[in-house]
Copies of this chain bind each other. A is one copy, B any other.
């Protein structure tokens, strides 16, 4: 679903963004009738949107009771990063084998542009840039399941945590070095090393976040 077609698509995305960006607060109940008036669509559309959100683990549903936005907890964030470490590590491993030379070259160029920004003192693009970097490596794995799990599931949840626990981009400069080494490993087609470095990279990121939370 690169671009929304049906009303259910649009409602799903709008509702997801409302939740991820915190305009609908974590843990709150989602009333179908209320949402159907708010978005000016029928309850059937709302129900489909909520069902999809449940598949993303953004809301939880109980039969005959209703849906609630998931509650955020430090433990939840840690679990999320454990899954990220696992999946993105594998993605980096596969990317080292499956990315085309052109894709790797583009990735290097992206990294260079990040370096220029960081050197120039701009931190604005920092998070978007980080996401873009990971994005490309995940795509580079060429593994459908991996891509879908991370993009459709994990990443929105990670973003939800980031926004709501209020953590603007940390670790700009060190993260840049880590990114550089990962690209180098992929360039060398060293799958083993690429996976290790990516796992470390995410582990450090997790530790940094844990530190901020305590």
* A residues whose Cβ falls under 8 Å from a Cβ of B: 5-6, 9, 44, 47-48, 51-52, 55, 57, 63-64, 76, 79-80, 82-83, 85-87, 89-90, 94, 143-146, 148-149, 153-154
When C-beta atoms are compared, the residue in chain B nearest to A5 turns out to be: B63
Nearest-neighbour CB distance to chain B for A81, whole angstroms, equals 10
SS class, residues of chain A in contact with chain B: helix
Nearest-neighbour CB distance to chain B for A9, whole angstroms, equals 7
**Cβ of A6 and Cβ of B82 under 8 Å apart?**
no
Contact of A85 among B9, B47, B64, B90 (CB under 8 A): B90
- State A51–B153 Cα separation when bound (angstroms): 15
Report chain B residues within 8 Å CB of A79. 143-146
**Cβ of B90 and Cβ of A143 under 8 Å apart?**
no
Contact of A145 among B47, B57, B63, B94 (CB under 8 A): B57
Known: A51-B52, A83-B143. 6 other contacts (CB 8 A): A5-B64, A6-B63, A82-B90, A83-B149, A86-B86, A145-B154
